[in-house]
Structure 1
Amino acid sequence: MAKRDAYFDNMKFLLIALVVIGHLIEPLSGQEAFRPLYLLIYSFHIPLFVLISGFFCKKITSADYRIKVIGSLVVPYLIFESLYSLFDYFVMGAERLRFSYFTPYWLMWFIFSMIIWKMLLPYAVKIRWALPISFGIAIWAGYAADAEHYASISRTIVFFPFFLAGYYLDKADIDKLRTPLTKWAAAAVLGAGALVMINYGSVIRPEWFYGSLPYRALDHPEWTAGIYRIGAYAAAALIGGAVMIVMTGRTIPLVSALGRNTLYAYLLHGFVVKGMIAAGFYETYGEAAWTWLLIPAGVLLTAGLSSEFVRTRFGWLLEPKLNRLFKRQTPDGGAEAGR
């Protein structure tokens, strides 16, 4: 077994913690105290998570590549999309029970899009200039009025360039950039990004970072609206790049190990967040000064859901054993006859 790279485990834990914190403070994101942090998180955390995911998809020619997509993503997606639909009806009080596998429920969009990205990747990399073309398509797609939530089509298109960039990324290139000088520069970029969100957060719409709506829905029907998406891409590249540079490659006790189980934290934390909403937490305590404790609480929740304790108890849901479902793969990509 290849030795794990602590750099990526640390990065994955940071990013999943930001996902959890972002969802915990989202109902409060309109408040002056939380809006800058919320905007800063959403300006880069999803693009960077997508890029890291693409980095680990280099074995696209392996015989079992598509089978792994089914086992690690398709099956968990079907299971949790169903569970969240049930949760939405019985806990959140939805008017009717509705299973909609082609309109992903809330955070399930990421898993749905990941399936598409992974299945598309082997074909996309055969195209010349695939990366700039994917950025061009993503900018152009914002002019389509119907590119929204169905089949997660808008986000799939908008964030695919980061997935593709991750595939092309070489870890050696990252290491070359992580010098003492560039780390100071990256820290300055992060500080500048925070200042921008603090001073101008009231006029920045977070929807530009979601990638889920066409320009017209964001009140920009003009033909130059694509400039705003380019701006969102620039913010993601600058701030996300700065985070990649300052991230340590050393093993961090507990943190590095927890970064191996980020899928558990991603799929399970939604029940906690939605449960808090259903219980009226934000309506009751939304104005309380101590709500800033949601930030460290998000870190603790992430750590708990990423633990081996949780993995051993929910592994049958998130990592189902499907060996008997598929025929044994041969080295040339074929399959042996079933017995």
Structure 2
Amino acid sequence: MTNSLRPHGQQRAPLPPAQTPASGVPSPRPPRTPHAGTAPAGPDAKPAKQRDAFFDNAKYLAIVLVAMGHAWEPLTDHSRAAEALYMVVYGFHMPAFILISGYFSRSFDMRADRLQRLVTGVAVPYVLFEVAYSLFKKTADDDPSHPISLLDPWYLTWFLVALFVWRLTTPLWKVVRWPVPLALAVAVLASVSPDIGDDLDLQRVLQFLPFFVVGLCMKPEHFQLMRRREVRILSVPVFMAALLVAYWAAPRMSSAWFYHRDSAQELGVQWWAGVVMTLALFGCSMVLTACFFAWVPRRKMWFTVLGAGTLYGYLLHGFLAKGSRFWGWYDDYTWLYKPLGEIFVSLVAAAVITALCTPPVQRAFRFAMEPKMEWAFKRDAAELARSRSRSTS
């Protein structure tokens, strides 16, 4: 998925909204509609761009798979089929999410307003939820010794740290000649470096980096190629083959490889296995991600509006996902390990994450996810000049 010419005979797909996403997960802030009767800013003012339903659909479906994967985790020790499905989903759900994050970060630079959104939409939610998760573990898991440390992300907050680092490095990936091979080399080196440690969850930051860089390099034409009918048809046997391979590999391979949080040595294998597995999993993840995108609806669906709330669902569902372990729900209801129980768990996870992405939840938690914090930043000189000119006209 590198730069390519527009496919012959196909119409160029519209670009996504130009603004950088305000939140950490790839959910660009919906364009604000002017109040009734408000005049446009000037004669050259352009109407707000519409959100692309394809990307909102993809983000919603990906976050549903994230929630299902967390709900399946306790079942994998008792069901080989659940383990196989878990491995396949983990092979592409976060890579797809990260790739979209990279795609919507293409316009990021060190401009003041974009740095401000990076702080308010990524750094501040990280601090708030890292503290909230740590306090939750102290109380719900009866673990008073659990530290509150902003340097050691716990559970889901690693993604916010990673996105903050990735987005800051975006200008670098724009100027290097071979960004994707370079990012892959970084990921490979990380996979064989056990001394990196847990600070800022750098193993995940570095090992997932290639997917972000691929997103930076992608163009609308690439998504058009993945939406073609033949790709959709081909993706069905690809997914079936992936499930069969995962079913065979389930008792032979640790699913920890898909988390990308440990080096090969920490997983108890030789260093060269890290090189092989990093490259192999990158290839498999890209293929499965392309198959996933091929089946994402292009038109507006009932869940399209939920695509703007994926960060809310992602961070909030973690309390229930972890709480179900702390409170022993899976141990108290052993029928959950049966096939019907596994289906029930999947449906509940999908319903919960859907509810947490809804506009009412977004409004309730916007203070933590998308705080304005205008008091914390200097006003841009150009913006001040425009304000003065409007007030005097």
The TM-score, its normalising length taken from structure 2, stands at 0.81
Contact 2:263 2:274 in 1 (8 A): no
Range with greater deviation from structure 2 (311-320 or 172-181): 172-181
Verify: 1:235 aligned to 2:284, yes or no: yes
Residue in structure 2 matched with residue 174 of structure 1 by the alignment: 223
Whichever residue aligns with residue 138 of structure 1, its letter is A
Deviation, structure 1 residue 57: 0.7
Verify: 1:49 aligned to 2:49, yes or no: no
Verify: 1:282 aligned to 2:282, yes or no: no
2:307 to 222, 240, 259: 259
Deviation, structure 1 residue 324: 2.0
Deviation, structure 1 residue 307: 0.5
Residue in structure 2 matched with residue 120 of structure 1 by the alignment: 169
Secondary structure of the corresponding residue to residue 196 of structure 2: coil
Secondary structure of the corresponding residue to residue 169 of structure 2: helix
Counterparts of 1:18 and 1:224, CA distance in 2? 28
Whichever residue aligns with residue 291 of structure 1, its letter is G
Range with greater deviation from structure 2 (59-68 or 212-221): 59-68
RMSD (Å), alpha carbons: 1.7
Secondary structure of the corresponding residue to residue 10 of structure 1: helix
Whichever residue aligns with residue 298 of structure 2, its letter is G
What residue ranges of structure 1 are gaps of 5+ in the alignment?
none
Counterparts of 1:331 and 1:185, CA distance in 2? 52
Deviation, structure 1 residue 330: 4.2
Secondary structure of the corresponding residue to residue 125 of structure 1: helix
Residue in structure 2 matched with residue 24 of structure 1 by the alignment: 71
Give matches, 1:140-155, under 5 Å: 140-155=189-204
Counterparts of 2:249 and 2:279, CA distance in 1? 18
Contact 1:147 1:213 in 2 (8 A): no
Deviation, structure 1 residue 91: 1.2
Higher Rg of the two aligned structures: 2
Residue in structure 2 matched with residue 196 of structure 1 by the alignment: 245
Secondary structure of the corresponding residue to residue 77 of structure 2: coil
Contact 1:54 1:164 in 2 (8 A): yes
Secondary structure of the corresponding residue to residue 202 of structure 1: coil
Contact 1:187 1:246 in 2 (8 A): no
Counterparts of 1:60 and 1:70, CA distance in 2? 13
Q: Deviations over 1:263-293 (max 9, x none)?
A: 0001100111122112110222245424211
Cα separation, partners in 2 of 1:97 and 1:208, compared to 1, 3 Å: closer
Residue in structure 2 matched with residue 307 of structure 1 by the alignment: 358
Counterparts of 2:236 and 2:379, CA distance in 1? 49
Secondary structure of the corresponding residue to residue 223 of structure 1: helix
Deviation, structure 1 residue 124: 2.9
Secondary structure of the corresponding residue to residue 123 of structure 1: helix
Residue in structure 1 matched with residue 372 of structure 2 by the alignment: 321
Deviation, structure 1 residue 31: 2.2
Deviation, structure 1 residue 97: 4.6
Q: Deviations over 1:159-215 (max 9, x none)?
A: 111111101111222113422112111222112112222233221211111111111
Secondary structure of the corresponding residue to residue 360 of structure 2: helix
Counterparts of 1:278 and 1:218, CA distance in 2? 25
Deviation, structure 1 residue 318: 1.2
Residue in structure 2 matched with residue 291 of structure 1 by the alignment: 341
Counterparts of 1:294 and 1:224, CA distance in 2? 34
Verify: 1:207 aligned to 2:275, yes or no: no
Counterparts of 1:85 and 1:222, CA distance in 2? 33
Cα separation, partners in 2 of 1:46 and 1:286, compared to 1, 3 Å: farther
Q: Deviations over 1:87-139 (max 9, x none)?
A: 01111111425111011011111111111111111223222212211101111
**Which structure's relative contact order is higher, taking Cα pairs within 8 Å and 6+ residues apart?**
1
Give matches, 1:214-225, under 5 Å: 214-225=263-274
Range with greater deviation from structure 2 (87-96 or 286-295): 286-295
Cα separation, partners in 2 of 1:257 and 1:203, compared to 1, 3 Å: same
Counterparts of 1:218 and 1:182, CA distance in 2? 35
Secondary structure of the corresponding residue to residue 34 of structure 1: helix
Residue in structure 2 matched with residue 160 of structure 1 by the alignment: 209
What residue ranges of structure 2 are gaps of 5+ in the alignment?
1-47, 388-393
Q: Deviations over 1:142-164 (max 9, x none)?
A: 11112343211101001111111
Aligned residue pair count: 332
Counterparts of 2:334 and 2:151, CA distance in 1? 33
Deviation, structure 1 residue 223: 3.2
Whichever residue aligns with residue 178 of structure 2, its letter is W
The TM-score, its normalising length taken from structure 1, stands at 0.93
Counterparts of 1:20 and 1:287, CA distance in 2? 20
Verify: 1:88 aligned to 2:108, yes or no: no
Residue in structure 2 matched with residue 273 of structure 1 by the alignment: 321
Contact 1:81 1:105 in 2 (8 A): yes
2:113 to 64, 67, 89: 64
Contact 2:130 2:148 in 1 (8 A): yes
Counterparts of 1:42 and 1:205, CA distance in 2? 12
Range with greater deviation from structure 2 (121-130 or 183-192): 121-130
